[in-house]
Amino acid sequence: MENISKVMSDKLKGLRAENNFSQEEIAEKLNVHRETFRKYESYPEHIDVGIFLEMLQLYNTSPVIFFEQIYGKMPLNDDNKQE
């Protein structure tokens, strides 16, 4: 079973690729160092909310759609079940 961090990381990388951006291009648009952006993409649980929202805007994706797609790929278990 994949964890949420891995699924989010894969989704962010996929969105960047779908939009034909390099890590360097997005880092520049977000005004962060490329290495910082690489870490954000690899470890999304450490992204500042404002940066995350800017990233999604660059990828023309809303947070609602992003998380619907993420949770659609996550199996429900006792830890992430919605009541």
Looking at the domain that runs over 4-72, which CATH code has it been given? 1.10.260.40
- pTM tops 0.95: no
Domain boundaries, the chain: 4-72
Q: Which residues contact 31 (CB under 8 A, 6 or more apart)?
A: none
Q: What is the dihedral of CA 51, 28, 18, 50, to 10 degrees?
A: 10
Span 4-39, pLDDT tens digits? 899 999 999 999 999 999 999 999 999 999 999 999
- Alpha-carbon distance 65 to 83, whole Å? 20
Span 69-78, pLDDT tens digits? 888 865 555 4
